[in-house]
Structure 1
Amino acid sequence: MLEIVEDRHGLRSTAITSQIFVGTWHDHLGDPTIANTVLDRIVHNAHRVALKDRSRRKGKETTET
């Protein structure tokens, strides 16, 4: 992930989606130095959209034909 972010930083847009809160990314990325580097480049110029509504999938009935 670090290589992708490094290659695109300041040159191109990058869309990232996650079901993991940004505050817990350090735990998932492992190495704190790499996590700091990735988060610095992603979060610094990011346009974040946090969805707070309940999942649309829960309770949704499926109909089969």
Structure 2
Amino acid sequence: RRDLLEILEDRHGRASTIITSQLPVDTWHEVIGDPTLADAILDRLVHNAHRLELAGESMRKRNAKTITLDEQPKR
């Protein structure tokens, strides 16, 4: 939490930061754990952010349905 906040503070207003997550933003407070740090982190991330929320089935799941056991790569 503190490391992430430090990185975001260093970059805030000076550089772009890309964050990817499978968790919805409204659950981040709970995941981050500390309400004060969560507020600070989200304040730096969410304001002036461009958010792309994807919907639909996972490509991994979709592709797994079409591959048979014979087609799976050998390890």
TM-score (norm 1): 0.91
**Structure 1 partner of 2:41:** 38
Which residue of 50, 55, 75 maps to 1:52? 55
Task: Give structure 2 stretches of 5+ with no counterpart.
Answer: none
Say what the alpha-carbon RMSD is for the aligned residues.
1.4
**1:53 offset after TM fit, Å?**
1.4
Task: Give structure 1 stretches of 5+ with no counterpart.
Answer: none
**Structure 2 partner of 1:64:** 73
TM-score (norm 2): 0.79
**1:63 offset after TM fit, Å?**
3.5
Matched, 1:15 2:29: no
Aligned length: 65
Q: Distance between the aligned counterparts of 1:15 and 1:36, measured in 2?
A: 18
Rg larger for: 2
**1:64 offset after TM fit, Å?**
2.3
Structure 1 segments, 4+ long, off by >4 Å, are none
- Other structure's SS at 2:19 match: coil
2:73 counterpart letter in structure 1: E
Q: Distance between the aligned counterparts of 1:47 and 1:9, measured in 2?
A: 14
